Amino acid sequence: MEDQLRMVRHGLEKLPRLQCPDGYHIRTYRKGDEAHWAQIMDRSFVDQNRTAQDTYANVINQSNFDPDGFCFVIHEDIPIGTACAWNRHLRGQPIGYIDMLAVLPEHTGHKLGKWLTVFLLYYFKAQHVAPVMLDTDDFRLPAIKNYLNLGFVPVYVRENHVLRWQNVFKRLRFLQK
């Protein structure tokens, strides 16, 4: 499997106002969300038969876990999307990292990934942590378009990333025609 592409937003000024579509809202983690996280991750990515225990192993039991940085999109009282914020360090400096952003397939098309990202950008802003990074796949064009529109820019981590980003931008231009 090819490594993911990286993006970064350097500052947290001029963030858009958080405006979820009608019928949706975002809240932070609550006890009992563990099974929902596992289901969202399985249905949004490759089914790995995740369980609530995986939520503990992958998120909650991590040393830098903060429940205020673990958020869910709610629709009709049920979590249907999720994302996680991690505080990390790069070359001795604090950096925010957005991870495990996923929305159930039947709820795509409402820009919920955008609003999860905005929610976490406000989380990092409140903590005075910038820049903020994330990793994504080449084929996630709607997500990449959202990230670009939110002020994220490509980071060329590996030599092949230059060509891969060029291909992403070509495909994005093609989709706009």
Looking at per-residue pLDDT, the higher value among 163 and 1 belongs to: 163
Q: Is the pLDDT of residue 175 over 70?
A: no
Residue 101: domain span: 5-176
Model pLDDT, residue 145? 95
pLDDT confidence of residue 51: 86
pLDDT value at residue 176: 56
- Residue 95 bridge partners (DSSP): 88
Residues 168/162, Cβ–Cβ less than 8 Å:
no
* Range from 49-53, 132-136, 168-172 carrying the lowest mean pLDDT: 49-53
> Is residue 1 predicted with pLDDT exceeding 70?
no
**Pick from 113, 105, 177, 103: nearest CA to 146:** 113
Mean pLDDT of 17-37: 96
- What would the pLDDT profile of 35-79 be if each residue is shown by its tens digit? 999 999 998 887 678 888 888 888 999 999 999 999 999 999 999
Nearest to 85 by CA among 124, 51, 113, 53: 124
Q: How many domains does the chain have?
A: 1
Beta-carbon contacts of 127 under 8 Å, excluding residues fewer than 6 positions away, are 87, 96
Task: Answer yes or no: pTM beyond 0.95.
Answer: no
